[in-house]
C-alpha cells in the first residue's frame, strides 16, 4: 500500500522562484525513503508539503490513498523531526514528549506510560525532568525524535535530523533510527544532503536537483547506474571523476574516446558502444569512480591513460592519488571540484607515488559511465528499469 | 519584538593587529570597577530629583517654598510626616486607590490578552491583507488620546458608559492595544518558525499553539508589556477625569482634587507621587524577573 | 506504541498557513475595540477638521490654512523636529549603553529599578519636579544652587550688591563715574541707595561730613536711606559704608586708589594739581551670580527634553535589557574568542543582534515624542510657552481651551498624524523585508 | 393585605420626607429626596471642602443628593466631552463668560427660570446680570467672585521707608522709588502667568479710559491701536519700565512665586498686585499673617479716576432644567449659600445681601465691601470675556503680547499692533 504519494507536485513561491517542479513520488507503507540533494534543491519543501506546512502550487499530496491538500498538518497523522529539533524551551523533556499527547487528549496514565516507553526507547529516561537548554545536542535530537514518535504516526518526516550533530554521534544514530523505524513499521521520508546517510539508511533514494526529481531507486542501483551525470557526481566518495571525451567511431573496430591527448577504445561488443557511437564527432562526459581504476605502468597498452600525479591524500588504509591525464573536466551539480580532468586512483598505502611522477591508470571499461553533455543523461542501454 | 535578529553576519576581524580606535581602546579598558563607579554615578544622577521629591513630601508647603530641599541637611527639624498622615487619613484617597486597581488590573489584563491573540494571528496565521492590517493597527499608535475624547464621549454617551469604570477601562484598552500589538507582533514574529510548525505537526490547533507554545515563550515581552501598560493606566489622569465619575475616580484624580488653587503644591504632589509609586514599583519588581532569563535558550540547535 | 489508524480528519480546513477563518477569533476582540474607540475617532477627526468650531458649517481647508498661517505652528513644528531628532536617539542610546553595562554589575536589578522610578511618577508630577530642578532662584532650583555654589567658591560676591549712587553719577563699564570733576581740597559726598540699611556691615559707623583738607581730596560714601530722611543729606541714623573702593581718574587713567573706612570716609592724600573724576568701581556693587535662566526662551526646549530623557530612559532600558537577555551568549563569546575587543563585540555583535528591539524602542519613542504635551505645559513658564510650543500642545489648547475649536484642533491632529507617516512607512518597509 | 402594605409604604416615605424637609428649617424649599444633582466646578483642595459644605446644606434642606466633581483647569475639557456624550452635569461653575456664551449659543446651557432671575436681580448690582446674559437671556449668575483690584504690601517694607498706602498711581510710583532705595524691589510681577498681566492692564485701562471704553474694548468695538490703549500702556510702563522698581526675573515668576517674593522669608519686593486670593497664597506658603504683616490697598486711582473694581468669578449655570437643578440654582443665588462659604473664608460674593459680618476678618470684609460698593462700576475681567485664543491661552494672544511688553515696556506701538492683529484674528472667528 502506498503511504505517501506526490502527484505532479510543484511549488512556486510568490516571487516566481520554482522550488519544486512536477515531482511524482510514492512511498510504500513501511518504506524508508531518503530525499537526497544539495541544499536548495527543494527537498525540504517537499517534506513541508507532505507535512501540511506548505500547500503545493499544483499537484496533490496523497496520504493513505486520500488527497490531503485540504487536511491541516495536525490532522494528517504525520510527525516530523526538525533540523534544529524545535523543542519547546519552556517545557521539560517529559512535557515536550507529552505535548502531542496532551493535544490529542490523551488520558493521564496512558500519557505517563507512553512517555516513559518512548523515553526508554531513546535512552533518555533519566533526562525527563530537564529542559532543552540543559541537554547536549545528541540528547536534544533524541528528545525531538521521541516527541515525533510518541503519538504513533504512520509517517515520520525527518528534515536533516543529524546535520547539527558531530560525526561520531551521527553514525551511531543512523543505525538507531533505521532499526527503530523498522521495528515500529514506520513509513519514513528522510531529507538529507549527506549521501552517506542516504546510502546507509535508505530503502530507496530519491535524488533531487533544482526542484526536479532526477533519479530514484535502491541505493546501490542508483549508485551503480545513476540516471544522470549530476546524480552520479553527487553519490559516492571520493566523487566520481568526470572527463570530457571526443567520440570517434572506427568502423568495424571500436569506438575511440579521445580524452585529452590520449584515447581509450570501446570495443563494439560492449553493449554501450552502439549508444556512444551516436555521438560520433561530438564530446561526451566519461565518468569513472575509483573502483573502475587501477594503477598501471605508464604507457602500458590497453585502456590505460597516462598522467602526472597532482595530489596525494593519505587515509591510512589507502591513498587517493589524483592523476592529471591532460583532459578537461566536466562540472556537475556545481560541486565537482575537479576542474582539470583528473582521475582519482585508489592505491594501497604502501605504494607511495611521488608528486609529479608519471603513472598509468588502467580503466575498467565495464565500470565507466557515459553521459550526454547537453542534458546530463546517461548514455547506453538502461542498466535497470526506470 | 524579535528578540534576536534572525541572521546576523558576525564579521569580526581576526586578531592579528586589529585597527583599534580611541573609543575601542577606552571601551576595552573599562574595568569592572570603572563600570561600577560610572553606573553608580548615573544612578545618583537619576535619584537626585526623586530624592528631592521625597524630601519635599516630608516638608510642609511654606518650608518647600522658602528653601530648596537640600537645606534639610542643616535643618532636619523641618521634616514631618504630616503630609502623609493627611493623605492616609483621607477616605476618598483610599477609595480611589481601590478604584485604580479596578481600572488598571482589567485594563492591563485585557490589553495583554487581546494583543497577544491579535499578534499571534498577525504573525503566524496567514490570511490575505495581513501585512496591511498590521500596519494599520500599529499606525493607530500615533493617535493622540485627546483627539478621541469627544468622539468617544459621544459613543459612551450612547451606550451609557459615561462615568463608569467599564468605560475608562475600555478606553485604556483601546489606546494600549496599538503599542501592545506592535511590541508582541515583533516578538512573536521572532520566535523560530520550526517551533510553531513542530507544534502544528504535533497536532496542536492554532489555539493550542498560541496558549501552550507562544505565550510561554513570549514571557519576557509580555512581562515588559504588562509593566508598562499597568504603569500607563495607573498614572493616567486625563481619561479618568473625563470618563470616570466621583465614585470611580482613580488615585490621580483624587490627588488632583487635593491641590490648592495656587502654588506649586509640591508637598501634595510629592506625597501623592510616593504613595502611588509603590504599586507600579512592586509590579516592576514582580515582572522584571521574567525577562532576565532568556526564555528561548535551548529551543533550537 | 501501536501505530494509529490514519488520522485524516474529515473536517476540511483551509490550507495550512492560509486560514483566514482561523484568524478571525484571534483578531476580532482587538479589532472591534480598536475600530470603535480609535479608528472611529480618527475618521471622525478627519471629517471634523473640515468644519468650523461649532461643527455645523463646512469650511473646506480653512482650518488647515489657519493652522499653517499661525506663527505658533512654525515654532511648534521646529521644536517637534528638534525633539524627534534629539530625544529618541538619546534615550535609545542611553538605554542601550546602560543595559549593556548593567550586565556587568551585580546590582543590575537595583539599577534598573532606579532608572525605572521616574516612569512610575506621573508626567504631571515629573514636570513639577523639573520645574523645580531648573528653577532660576538658587534657593529653589538645585541646578542653579550647584552652579552658584561652585561659582562663589572661586569668585565671592561683592559687598554691596545692587547699590548705586543717588545722583550725579554715570554708570560706565568701569563703574559709577562722577559727572563733575573735583580737585584736591574738595570734599566729595557720595550718597548711595538701593541697599538695605539692615545689611550694612556691623562695624559701620554713623556717617558725618568730612572737613575739607588741604591738598587732599576727601569724601564720604554713605547709605542715604532712612525712613523720613532727606535725600542727599546725611541724616542722623544713616551710616557710612566701609570697604568701598574709590578711584581718582584723570584723562581716563586711574591716578589713585583708596578704600573707605568704617565711617565711610576716604582720602586721596597727594593728588597732583589738576582735576580728577571720582569713580566707584563696579566690583563694589556686582550683583551676586544667580545661575542660568534655564526656563528662559533660549534653553527651554533642551531643558524639557532633558527631563523627558530622565523619564523615558527607564522605558528603553527595560526593553533593551529584555532583548539582551535573549541574545545567544555563544555569539558574544565566539566573537571574543576571535579576538574582538569589547567595543567590537558591542558594535558588531550586540547591536546587530539587538537591532529589532532597538527599532521597536526607537519607533515607540518617536511617536511618544510627537504626542508629548503635558511636560511642555507644566515645565515651560507661561512666558516661554510659545517658544517651547509643540504641535500636540497646540492641538490641546486649540481643541480644549475655553471656547475650544474642535475643527482647528482636528486639523492639527490630522497634521500630526501625517507627520508620523514617515515613521510608519519605515515600518511597512521593515515588515515587508521581514516577510521576504 | 396588599393594600395595607402600600399604605404603610406611602406613610413611611412621606414621613421620611417630612423629616428631611423639616430639618432644613426652611418651609419654602421643595422635597427632593431621591433625586441626585451633579455639579462640576473648578475647585479643589480646601475650596472643594468649603463648597461641599454649601452643597451639604442644600442636601439638608431638600433631601437631594449632590455630587460634586472637581475638574480644576480641565473644566472646559470635562464639560465639552460630557456635553458631547449627552451626559452634562446639572450645574456647572464656569470662570469664563466666553465659555458660557459658547454653551448658550450651542443650546447646552439653559436659561434660568423666573425665580432664579428674580433672586439674581434682587441680590446683585445690575451690572452682574449683564455678565451672565447672552442675547438678552440670563443664563446664570456669579456665585463666587474675585476682587482683582488690590495691591498687597509688606507692612515691614513700608515701615522701613515710612510709606503709607498710596491712593494715586503717581503716589504709587513715588512710594515704589522710595522702597527701591532700600535695595528692595517695589513690586513683584508674576509675569510668567499671562493672566496677571492682563489684570494689570485691565485695572489701569478701566481707570484711564473709563467703563464705557472698557466695555467697547472688551467687545473689540474699538481696536487695540486706540489711543486709550496707548495711554494705559504708557502708564503701566512708568512702573514696569524702571528695572529698579520691578523684582528681577519677572517673566520667570509665576503668580504664587510673586506673592512669596513679597511675604516669604527672603523677600525681594514690597508689593504684589493681584486679587483677594493672594491672601490664601500668603497663608499656605509663607509665615506672614494677613492683616498684620500683609495688608492691601485698592488699586490706586489713575489721573483722578473714580473707584472701580475689576472682578473675576465663577458663574453658576445649568445644563438641565428639572426641579432639583432649578432648586439648587435658586439656593446658590440666595444669600444663604454664599453666607456659608463666606464664614469659612477664602470667598467673596457680589451678593449684596450677604451681611458684611459674615466674612471672617477685616481684610476680607473690606475686599467684599469694595465690590458691593462699586456697584455698577464693577467690570468683569476683560481677558475672560475675550475669545480664549486671545485672552486665555498660555503663550499666545494677549497673554504673550503683554509678556513681551513687560520684557520691553518702551515698545508701545509694536505691542499695540500685535495685540490688535491677534485680537482681530480671535474675534473674527
B109, B144, B166, B210: best mutation site toward chain C, by most C Cβ within 10 Å? Answer: B144
Q: Does D269 touch chain C (CB under 8 A)?
A: no
Q: Per-residue confidence at B15, pLDDT binned at 50, 70, 90?
A: very low
In a domain, B101, yes or no: yes
Assess whether pLDDT exceeds 60 at residue C16. Answer: no
Positive/negative CA dihedral, D5, D10, D16, D22: negative
Q: Per-residue confidence at A146, pLDDT binned at 50, 70, 90?
A: very high
CB contact under 8 A, B224 and C319: yes
Positive/negative CA dihedral, A304, A307, A309, A311: negative
Residues of chain C found within 8 Å of residue A70, distances taken between Cβ atoms: 12-15
Of A53, A64, A117, which is closest to C8 when you measure between CB atoms? Answer: A64
Q: For the segment B289-300, what is each residue's pLDDT rounded down to a tens digit?
A: 776 554 455 555
**Which of C227-231, D82-86, D334-338 is the least confident region?**
C227-231
CATH superfamily, with its number, for domain D36-147+311-380: Periplasmic binding protein-like II (3.40.190.10)
According to CATH, the topology of domain D150-307+387-427 is: D-Maltodextrin-Binding Protein; domain 2 (3.40.190)
**Which of A11-15, A198-202, C416-420, D301-305 is the least confident region?**
C416-420
Q: For the segment A243-291, what is each residue's pLDDT rounded down to a tens digit?
A: 889 999 887 788 899 988 888 888 888 888 888 888 888 999 999 999 8
CB contact under 8 A, C227 and D106: no
Q: For the segment C131-158, what is each residue's pLDDT rounded down to a tens digit?
A: 889 988 888 889 999 998 888 888 877 8
Q: What is the ipTM of this complex?
A: 0.83
Res A84: pLDDT: 86
Domains of chain C: 48-144+294-435 (1.10.3720.10), 164-284 (2.60.40)
CB contact under 8 A, B28 and C341: yes
* Neighbour-count burial of B62, counting CB atoms closer than 10 A to its CB (0-12 exposed, 13-18 middle, 19+ buried): buried
C295/chain D closest Cα distance in angstroms: 7
SS3 state at A228: strand
Higher pLDDT, C50 or A311: C50
Q: For the segment C382-400, what is each residue's pLDDT rounded down to a tens digit?
A: 889 889 999 999 888 888 7
Q: Does B213 touch chain A (CB under 8 A)?
A: yes
Res C92: pLDDT: 96
B6/chain A closest Cα distance in angstroms: 14
| Over residues D199-216, mean pLDDT | 95
* Domain assignment of residue A336, given as a range: 236-372
Size of interface B-D (CB pairs under 8 A): 95
Cβ distance A70 to C12 under 8 Å?
A: yes
Q: Per-residue confidence at A383, pLDDT binned at 50, 70, 90?
A: very low
Q: For the segment D116-125, what is each residue's pLDDT rounded down to a tens digit?
A: 999 999 999 9
| Over residues D161-168, mean pLDDT | 92
Higher pLDDT, C96 or A39: C96
Assess whether pLDDT exceeds 70 at residue D21. Answer: no
Res C424: pLDDT: 67
Which cell is A289 given? 569512480
Q: For the segment C338-357, what is each residue's pLDDT rounded down to a tens digit?
A: 777 878 888 888 888 888 88
Chain B residues 266-285 with a CB less than 8 Å from chain D: none
Assess whether pLDDT exceeds 50 at residue D423. Answer: yes
Which cell is A240 given? 566520481
A186/chain C closest Cα distance in angstroms: 8
C408/chain B closest Cα distance in angstroms: 11
Same domain, A246 and A352: yes
Which cell is A138 given? 545528541
CB contact under 8 A, C115 and B143: no
Distance (Å) of CA C406 to CA A16, C26, C100: 51, 36, 46
D66, D71, D81: best mutation site toward chain B, by most B Cβ within 10 Å? Answer: D81
Q: Per-residue confidence at D334, pLDDT binned at 50, 70, 90?
A: very high
CA torsion angle D296 D302 D308 D312 (round to 10): -70
Res D366: pLDDT: 94
Helical segments of A2-155, H only: 43-51, 93-103, 108-121, 137-149
Q: Does B232 touch chain C (CB under 8 A)?
A: no
B7, B192, B202: best mutation site toward chain A, by most A Cβ within 10 Å? Answer: B202
Q: For the segment B127-154, what is each residue's pLDDT rounded down to a tens digit?
A: 888 888 988 888 888 888 888 888 999 9
Q: For the segment A290-330, what is each residue's pLDDT rounded down to a tens digit?
A: 989 988 887 778 888 888 898 888 888 888 998 988 888 88
pLDDT, averaged across chain C:
84
Closest Cα in chain D to B264: D256
> Rounded distance, CA A267 to CA A302, Å?
11
Chains interfacing with A (3 or more CB pairs < 8 Å):
B, C
Cβ distance A156 to A148 under 8 Å?
A: yes
Q: Is B203 left (phi over 0), alpha (psi -120 to 50) or beta?
A: left
CB contact under 8 A, C406 and B16: no
Number of domains in chain A: 2
**Closest C-alpha among C186, C240, C238 to residue C214:** C186
Q: Peptide bond before A334: cis, by omega within 30 degrees of 0? A: no
Q: Does B165 touch chain C (CB under 8 A)?
A: no
Residues of A in CB contact (< 8 Å) with C are 15, 52-55, 63-64, 66, 68-73, 75-77, 114, 117-118, 121, 149-154, 184-186
Res D28: pLDDT: 52
Res C198: pLDDT: 85
- Partnered with residue A10 across adjacent β-strands are A58
Assess whether pLDDT exceeds 90 at residue D406. Answer: yes
CB contact under 8 A, D284 and B153: no
Size of interface C-D (CB pairs under 8 A): 114
* Domain assignment of residue B203, given as a range: 92-260+279-297
Residue with cell 490641546: C396
End residue of a domain, out of A232, A247, A280: A232
Res C56: pLDDT: 83
| Over residues D128-157, mean pLDDT | 94
Q: Do chains D and A touch (3 or more CB pairs under 8 A)?
A: no
Residues of chain B found within 8 Å of residue A147, distances taken between Cβ atoms: 198, 202
Cβ distance A99 to A91 under 8 Å?
A: yes
Assess whether pLDDT exceeds 90 at residue B27. Answer: no
In a domain, A381, yes or no: no
| Over residues C298-311, mean pLDDT | 94
C10 φ, ψ to 5°?
-80, -20
Closest Cα in chain A to C2: A152
DSSP states along A132-152: GGGS-HHHHHHHHHHHHHTT-
Q: Per-residue confidence at C18, pLDDT binned at 50, 70, 90?
A: low
Q: What are the structural domain ranges in chain D?
A: 36-147+311-380, 150-307+387-427
B288/chain D closest Cα distance in angstroms: 35
In a domain, B165, yes or no: yes
Same domain, A115 and A242: no
Res D145: pLDDT: 95
**Closest C-alpha among D182, D186, D200 to residue D270:** D186
| Over residues B236-243, mean pLDDT | 89
CB contact under 8 A, C8 and A66: yes
Closest Cα in chain C to B26: C343
CATH number reported for the structural domain that contains residue A149 in this entry: 3.40.50.300
- Partnered with residue A311 across adjacent β-strands are A322
| Over residues B59-67, mean pLDDT | 84
Q: Per-residue confidence at A381, pLDDT binned at 50, 70, 90?
A: low
Angle (nearest 5°) at CA C155 between C151 and C157 = 95
CB contact under 8 A, D429 and C405: yes
Q: For the segment C178-187, what is each residue's pLDDT rounded down to a tens digit?
A: 888 888 888 8
Residues of chain B found within 8 Å of residue A52, distances taken between Cβ atoms: 200
Percent of chain A whose pLDDT exceeds 70: 96
Assess whether pLDDT exceeds 60 at residue C2. Answer: no
**Which of A31-35, C274-278, D405-409 is the least confident region?**
C274-278
Res C325: pLDDT: 76
> Rounded distance, CA A133 to CA A136, Å?
8
CB contact under 8 A, A84 and B298: no
SS3 state at C98: helix
| Over residues C296-310, mean pLDDT | 93
Task: Tally the C-alpha atoms within 13 A of residue C335's C-alpha that lie toward its C-beta.
Answer: 22
Q: Does B249 touch chain C (CB under 8 A)?
A: no
SS3 state at D135: coil
> Rounded distance, CA C181 to CA C277, Å?
5
| Over residues B256-263, mean pLDDT | 83
Q: How far is CA A340 from the centre of its chain?
A: 25
**Closest C-alpha among B178, D80, B229, B230 to residue C37:** B178
Q: For the segment D370-395, what is each residue's pLDDT rounded down to a tens digit?
A: 999 998 899 999 998 888 889 888 88
pLDDT, averaged across chain D:
89
B81/chain C closest Cα distance in angstroms: 19
Assess whether pLDDT exceeds 70 at residue D26. Answer: no
Res D110: pLDDT: 95
Q: For the segment A185-228, what is each residue's pLDDT rounded down to a tens digit?
A: 999 999 999 888 999 999 999 999 889 999 999 999 999 889 99
> Rounded distance, CA D405 to CA D409, Å?
5
Q: Per-residue confidence at B3, pLDDT binned at 50, 70, 90?
A: very low
Res B16: pLDDT: 39
Res B265: pLDDT: 82
Of C383, C401, C402, which is closest to D191 when you measure between CB atoms? Answer: C383
Cα Rg of chain B, angstroms:
25
Q: For the segment D254-299, what is each residue's pLDDT rounded down to a tens digit?
A: 899 999 999 988 889 999 999 999 999 998 888 899 999 999 999 9
CB contact under 8 A, B18 and C345: no
Q: Does B130 touch chain A (CB under 8 A)?
A: no
Q: For the segment A322-340, what is each residue's pLDDT rounded down to a tens digit?
A: 898 888 888 765 554 545 5
Size of interface B-C (CB pairs under 8 A): 341
Amino acid at each position: 500500500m502506498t503511504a505517501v504519494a506526490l502527484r505532479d507536485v510543484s511549488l512556486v513561491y510568490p516571487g516566481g522562484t520554482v522550488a519544486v517542479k512536477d515531482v511524482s513520488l510514492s512511498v510504500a507503507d513501511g518504506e524508508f525513503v531518503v530525499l537526497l540533494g544539495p541544499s536548495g534543491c527543494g527537498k525540504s519543501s517537499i517534506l513541508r508539503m507532505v507535512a501540511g506546512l506548505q500547500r503545493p502550487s499544483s499537484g496533490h499530496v496523497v496520504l493513505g490513498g486520500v488527497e490531503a491538500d485540504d487536511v491541516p498538518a495536525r490532522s494528517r497523522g504525520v510527525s516530523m523531526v526538525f533540523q534544529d529539533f524545535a523543542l519547546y524551551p519552556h517545557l521539560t523533556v517529559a512535557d515536550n514528549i507529552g505535548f502531542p499527547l496532551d493535544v490529542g487528549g490523551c488520558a493521564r496514565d496512558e500519557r505517563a506510560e507512553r512517555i516513559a516507553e518512548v523515553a526508554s526507547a531513546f535512552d533518555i529516561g533519566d533526562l525527563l525532568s530537564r529542559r532543552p537548554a540543559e541537554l547536549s545536542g545528541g540528547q536534544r535530537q533524541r528528545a525531538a525524535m521521541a516527541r515525533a514518535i510518541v503519538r504513533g504516526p504512520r509517517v515520520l518526516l525527518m528534515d536533516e535530523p543529524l546535520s547539527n550533530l558531530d560525526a561520531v554521534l551521527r553514525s551511531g544514530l543512523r543505525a538507531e533510527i533505521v532499526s527503530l523505524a523498522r521495528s515500529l513499521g514506520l513509513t519514513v521520508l528522510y531529507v538529507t544532503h549527506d549521501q552517506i546517510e542516504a546510502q546507509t539508511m535508505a530503502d530507496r533514494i530519491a535524488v533531487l536537483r533544482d526542484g526536479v526529481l532526477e533519479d530514484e531507486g535502491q541505493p546501490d542501483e542508483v549508485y551503480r547506474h545513476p540516471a544522470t551525470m549530476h546524480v552520479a557526481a553527487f553519490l559516492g566518495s571520493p566523487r566520481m571523476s568526470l572527463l570530457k571525451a571526443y567520440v570517434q567511431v572506427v568502423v568495424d573496430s571500436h569506438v575511440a574516446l579521445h580524452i585529452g591527448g590520449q584515447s581509450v577504445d570501446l570495443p563494439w561488443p560492449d553493449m554501450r558502444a552502439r549508444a556512444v557511437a551516436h555521438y560520433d564527432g561530438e564530446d561526451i562526459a566519461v565518468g569513472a569512480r575509483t573502483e573502475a581504476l587501477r594503477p598501471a605502468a605508464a604507457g602500458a597498452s590497453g585502456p590505460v591513460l597516462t598522467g602526472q600525479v597532482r595530489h596525494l591524500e593519505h587515509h591510512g588504509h589507502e591513498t587517493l592519488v589524483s592523476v592529471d591525464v591532460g583532459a578537461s573536466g566536466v562540472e556537475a551539480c556545481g560541486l565537482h571540484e575537479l576542474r582539470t580532468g583528473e582521475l582519482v586512483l585508489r592505491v594501497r598505502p604502501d605504494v607511495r607515488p611521488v608528486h609529479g611522477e608519471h603513472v598509468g591508470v588502467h580503466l575498467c571499461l565495464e565500470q565507466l559511465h557515459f553521459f550526454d553533455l547537453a542534458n546530463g543523461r546517461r548514455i547506453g542501454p538502461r542498466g535497470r528499469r526506470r | 519584538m524579535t528578540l534576536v535578529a534572525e541572521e546576523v553576519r558576525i564579521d569580526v576581524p581576526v586578531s592579528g593587529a586589529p585597527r583599534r580606535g580611541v573609543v575601542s581602546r577606552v571601551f576595552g579598558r573599562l574595568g569592572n570597577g570603572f563600570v561600577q563607579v560610572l553606573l553608580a554615578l548615573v544612578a545618583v544622577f537619576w535619584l537626585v530629583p526623586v530624592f528631592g521629591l521625597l524630601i519635599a513630601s516630608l516638608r510642609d508647603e511654606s518650608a518647600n517654598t522658602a528653601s530648596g530641599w537640600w537645606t534639610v541637611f542643616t535643618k532636619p527639624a523641618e521634616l514631618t510626616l504630616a503630609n502623609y498622615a493627611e493623605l492616609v487619613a483621607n477616605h476618598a484617597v483610599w477609595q480611589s486607590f481601590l478604584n485604580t486597581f479596578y481600572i488598571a488590573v482589567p485594563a492591563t489584563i485585557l490589553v495583554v490578552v487581546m494583543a497577544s491573540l491579535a499578534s499571534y494571528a498577525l504573525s503566524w496565521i496567514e490570511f490575505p491583507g495581513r501585512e496591511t492590517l498590521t500596519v494599520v493597527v500599529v499606525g493607530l499608535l500615533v493617535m493622540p488620546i485627546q483627539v478621541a475624547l469627544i468622539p468617544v464621549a459621544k459613543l459612551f454617551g450612547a451606550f451609557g458608559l459615561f462615568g463608569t469604570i467599564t468605560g475608562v477601562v475600555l478606553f485604556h484598552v483601546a489606546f494600549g492595544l496599538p503599542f501592545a500589538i506592535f511590541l508582541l507582533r515583533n516578538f512573536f514574529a521572532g520566535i523560530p518558525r520550526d517551533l510553531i510548525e513542530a507544534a502544528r505537526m504535533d497536532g496542536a490547533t492554532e489555539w493550542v499553539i498560541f496558549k501552550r507554545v507562544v505565550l510561554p515563550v513570549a514571557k519576557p515581552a509580555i512581562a515588559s508589556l504588562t509593566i508598562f501598560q499597568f504603569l500607563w493606566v495607573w498614572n493616567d489622569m486625563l481619561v479618568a477625569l473625563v470618563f470616570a465619575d466621583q465614585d470611580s475616580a482613580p488615585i490621580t484624580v483624587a490627588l488632583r482634587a487635593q491641590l490648592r488653587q495656587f502654588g506649586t503644591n509640591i508637598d501634595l504632589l510629592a506625597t501623592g507621587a510616593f504613595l502611588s509609586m509603590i504599586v507600579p514599583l512592586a509590579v516592576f519588581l514582580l515582572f522584571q524577573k521574567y525577562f532576565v532569563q532568556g526564555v528561548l535558550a535551548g529551543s533550537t540547535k | 506504541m501501536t501505530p494509529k489508524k490514519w488520522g485524516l480528519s474529515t473536517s476540511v480546513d483551509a490550507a495550512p498557513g492560509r486560514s483566514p477563518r482561523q484568524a478571525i477569533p484571534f483578531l476580532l476582540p482587538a479589532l472591534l475595540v480598536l475600530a470603535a474607540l480609535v479608528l472611529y475617532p480618527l475618521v471622525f477627526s478627519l471629517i471634523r477638521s473640515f468644519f468650523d468650531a461649532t461643527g455645523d458649517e463646512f469650511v473646506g481647508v480653512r482650518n488647515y490654512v489657519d493652522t499653517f498661517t499661525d506663527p505658533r505652528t512654525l515654532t511648534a513644528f521646529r521644536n517637534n523636529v528638534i525633539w524627534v531628532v534629539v530625544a529618541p536617539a538619546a534615550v535609545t542610546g542611553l538605554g542601550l549603553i546602560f543595559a549593556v553595562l548593567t550586565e556587568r554589575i551585580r546590582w543590575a536589578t537595583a539599577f534598573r529599578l532606579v532608572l525605572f522610578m521616574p516612569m512610575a511618577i506621573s508626567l504631571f508630577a515629573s514636570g513639577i519636579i523639573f520645574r523645580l530642578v531648573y528653577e532660576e532662584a538658587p534657593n529653589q532650583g538645585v541646578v542653579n544652587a550647584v552652579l552658584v555654589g561652585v561659582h562663589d567658591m572661586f569668585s565671592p560676591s561683592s559687598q554691596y550688591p545692587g547699590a548705586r549712587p543717588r545722583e550725579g553719577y554715570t554708570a560706565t563699564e568701569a563703574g559709577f563715574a562722577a559727572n563733575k570733576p573735583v580737585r584736591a581740597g574738595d570734599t566729595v559726598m557720595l550718597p548711595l541707595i538701593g541697599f538695605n540699611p539692615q545689611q550694612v556691615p556691623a562695624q559701620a559707623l554713623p556717617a558725618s561730613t568730612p572737613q575739607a583738607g588741604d591738598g587732599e581730596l576727601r569724601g564720604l560714601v554713605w547709605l542715604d536711606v532712612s525712613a523720613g530722611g532727606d535725600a542727599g543729606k546725611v541724616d542722623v541714623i544713616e551710616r557710612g559704608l566701609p570697604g568701598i573702593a574709590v578711584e581718582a581718574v584723570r584723562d581716563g587713567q586711574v591716578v589713585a586708589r583708596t578704600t573707605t573706612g568704617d565711617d565711610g570716609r576716604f582720602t586721596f592724600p597727594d593728588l597732583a594739581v589738576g582735576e580728577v573724576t571720582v569713580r566707584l568701581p563696579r566690583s563694589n556693587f556686582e550683583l551676586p551670580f544667580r545661575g542660568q535662566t534655564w526656563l528662559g526662551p533660549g534653553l527651554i526646549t533642551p531643558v524639557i527634553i532633558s527631563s523627558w530623557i530622565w523619564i523615558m530612559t527607564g522605558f528603553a532600558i527595560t526593553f533593551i535589557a529584555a532583548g539582551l537577555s535573549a541574545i545567544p551568549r555563544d555569539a558574544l563569546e565566539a566573537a571574543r574568542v576571535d579576538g574582538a575587543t569589547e567595543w567590537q563585540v558591542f558594535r558588531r555583535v550586540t547591536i546587530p543582534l539587538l537591532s529589532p528591539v532597538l527599532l521597536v524602542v526607537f519607533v515607540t519613542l518617536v511617536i511618544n515624542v510627537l504626542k508629548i504635551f503635558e511636560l511642555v505645559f507644566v515645565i515651560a513658564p507661561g512666558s516661554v510657552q510659545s517658544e517651547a510650543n509643540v504641535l500636540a500642545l497646540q492641538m490641546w489648547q486649540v481643541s480644549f481651551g475655553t471656547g475650544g475649536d474642535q475643527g482647528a484642533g482636528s486639523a492639527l491632529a490630522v497634521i500630526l498624524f501625517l507627520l508620523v507617516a514617515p515613521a510608519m512607512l519605515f515600518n511597512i518597509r521593515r515588515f515587508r523585508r521581514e516577510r521576504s | 393585605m396588599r393594600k395595607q402594605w402600600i399604605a404603610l409604604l406611602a406613610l413611611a416615605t412621606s414621613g421620611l420626607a417630612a423629616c428631611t424637609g423639616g430639618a432644613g428649617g426652611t418651609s419654602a424649599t421643595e422635597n427632593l429626596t431621591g433625586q441626585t444633582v451633579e455639579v462640576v466646578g473648578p475647585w479643589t483642595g480646601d475650596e472643594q471642602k468649603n463648597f461641599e459644605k454649601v452643597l451639604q446644606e442644600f442636601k439638608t434642606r431638600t433631601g437631594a443628593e449632590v455630587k460634586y466633581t472637581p475638574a480644576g483647569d480641565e473644566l472646559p475639557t470635562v464639560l465639552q466631552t460630557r456635553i458631547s456624550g449627552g451626559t452634562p452635569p446639572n450645574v456647572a461653575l464656569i470662570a469664563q463668560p466666553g465659555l458660557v456664551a459658547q454653551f448658550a449659543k450651542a443650546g447646552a446651557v439653559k436659561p434660568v427660570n423666573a425665580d432664579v432671575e428674580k433672586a439674581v436681580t434682587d441680590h446683585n448690582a445690575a451690572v452682574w446680570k449683564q455678565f451672565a446674559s447672552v442675547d438678552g437671556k440670563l443664563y446664570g449668575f456669579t456665585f463666587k467672585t474675585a476682587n482683582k483690584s488690590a495691591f498687597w504690601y509688606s507692612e515691614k517694607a513700608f515701615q522701613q521707608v515710612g510709606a503709607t498706602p498710596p491712593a494715586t498711581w503717581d503716589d504709587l510710583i513715588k512710594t515704589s522709588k522710595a522702597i527701591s532705595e532700600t535695595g528692595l524691589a517695589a513690586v513683584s510681577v508674576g509675569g510668567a502667568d499671562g493672566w496677571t498681566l492682563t489684570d494689570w492692564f485691565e485695572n489701569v485701562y478701566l481707570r484711564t479710559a473709563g467703563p464705557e471704553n472698557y466695555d467697547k474694548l472688551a467687545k473689540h468695538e474699538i481696536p487695540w491701536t486706540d489711543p486709550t490703549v496707548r495711554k494705559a500702556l504708557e502708564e503701566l510702563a512708568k512702573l514696569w519700565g524702571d528695572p529698579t522698581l520691578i523684582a528681577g526675573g519677572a517673566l520667570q515668576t509665576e503668580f504664587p512665586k510673586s506673592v512669596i517674593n513679597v511675604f516669604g522669608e527672603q523677600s525681594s519686593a514690597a508689593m504684589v498686585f493681584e486679587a483677594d486670593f493672594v491672601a490664601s497664597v500668603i497663608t499656605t506658603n509663607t509665615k506672614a499673617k494677613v492683616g498684620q504683616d500683609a495688608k492691601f490697598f485698592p488699586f490706586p486711582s489713575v489721573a483722578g479716576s473714580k473707584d472701580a473694581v475689576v472682578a473675576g468669578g465663577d458663574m453658576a449655570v445649568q445644563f438641565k432644567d428639572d426641579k432639583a437643578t432649578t432648586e439648587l440654582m435658586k439656593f446658590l443665588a440666595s444669600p444663604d449659600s454664599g453666607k456659608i462659604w463666606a464664614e469659612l473664608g477664602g470667598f467673596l460674593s457680589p451678593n449684596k445681601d450677604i451681611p458684611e459680618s459674615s466674612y471672617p476678618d477685616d481684610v476680607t470684609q473690606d475686599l467684599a465691601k469694595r465690590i458691593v460698593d462699586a456697584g455698577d462700576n464693577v467690570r468683569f475681567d476683560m481677558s475672560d470675556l475675550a475669545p480664549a485664543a486671545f485672552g486665555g491661552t498660555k503663550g499666545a494672544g494677549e497673554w504673550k503680547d503683554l509678556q513681551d511688553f513687560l520684557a520691553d515696556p518702551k515698545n508701545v506701538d509694536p505691542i499695540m499692533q500685535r495685540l490688535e492683529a491677534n485680537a482681530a484674528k480671535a474675534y473674527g472667528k
